[in-house]
A and B are shown apart, each in its own frame.
Chain A
Amino acid sequence: MAALRWRRSGQYLLVVWAALTLNFLLPRMAPGDPLDYLIGPEAEILDDGQREAVLAEFGLDRPLPRQYVDYLGGLVVGDLGISLRYGRSVSAILVERIPWTLLILVPSILISTLLATALGTLAASRRGGRADGSLVAVTLMIDSLPAFWIGMVLIAVFAVRLQWLPSFGAVPFDPADGALGQALEIGRRAVLPIATMVIGSLGHTFLLARASVLTALGEDHVLMAHAKGLRPRRVLFGHVLRTALLPVYTSVTLSFGSILGGAVLIETVFAYPGLGRLVFEAVAARDYPLLQGAFVLTALGVIAANWLADATYPRFDPRVRDMSAS
C-alpha cells in the first residue's frame, strides 16, 4: 500500500514538472513577442537595437535555459514574476481575477449538472419515446453551437431586444445602494455569462447522464428491485441513480479542475474580468510571466481535481473501495 502511494506521488510530481516545463516553453514557442504590446502599435518602426533594449528591461534577452532556471526558482519561493502587460505581480493579478471566474463558473457547473442529470434521467427512463427523441435532438443541437455564439444570441434577446440585462462588465459604473444592492447588481451582470455556460455545457453532461442511467436500468440489481415490487420512484433514486451518477460525478469533479482556465471566449464577449479574459489578453500581449502563472494555476487545478476524484471515488463506489482494500 505504501509503495503504491509512493509510486502515485512520484507520478503526480512528474506530471507537475512536465506541466510546469510546458507552461514555460509553450508561450515562448508561439510566434510573436511582447514588443507589440509594450511599445504599442508602433513597435514595428523601432530599430533592432531599440527592440532588444525593451526586451532586456524584462530579462527576455537572456538565454532560454537561464530564464527557465529563474522561472523554476521563482516558483519554489512562490514568485510568479511580474506581468509585462500590467507591470504588477502575477500572483496579485491572479488572486484578483479568480473570484470573478468562480462567481460565474461554479453556479454554471452546478446548474448545468443538475439540469443535465435531470433531463438525462428523464430521457433514459422514457427511452425511445417522444420525450427522449426530442431531448436528444435538442441537446445535440445545442452542444454543437459555439459558446460565444450562444452568448451573442442571449445578448441580442435579453440586452438589445428586451433590455432586461446589461451586456457587458461585472460591476455597475457606480455602486448600488448598500452591499445587498451592489451584490444584486453583480448578480444581474453574471446572469448572461452563467446562462451561456449552462447552455453551452448542457449537452455533454446530458448525454453522459442518459447513457449511465440506461446502463444502470439494465443491471440485475435494478431488475431485482423491480421484482421485489419497489415503487418506480424508489428504484430510480435508490438503485439506478446511485450507480448511474458515478460517471457524472467524475466528469463534474474533473470539470472543476478546468475552472481556473476560465471561459476565455465567454468572458471576452461579456467583457467579464475573470481568468479567461486575462488569459486572452495575456496571449495577445505575449505576456509570458502572466501566461505561465495562469497556466500553472490551471495545471495545478486539473491535477488537484484528478487527485480529488481519485481520493473521493471510493467513498461513493464500494466496489472501488473493496478493490483498494484488497
Chain B
Amino acid sequence: MKAFITFILIVIGGFCYATWNGITFWEDSVERNTEYHSTGHSHGGGYGSRFYHK
C-alpha cells in the first residue's frame, strides 16, 4: 500500500509539473529547431524563417 501511495504521489506530481509547463505526451510530430530554421519543405518554394522576420 505504501508503494502504491508513493506511486500515486509521483504520478500526481508529474501531472502537475507537466500541466503547469504545458508538457504533454503523444504530441503531433513536430520538428524542433532551436537555432536556425533552414529550408527543406516542399510547399513553400524554399523560404526560411529568417525570410519572414520583421
On whether the two chains bind one another, the answer is no
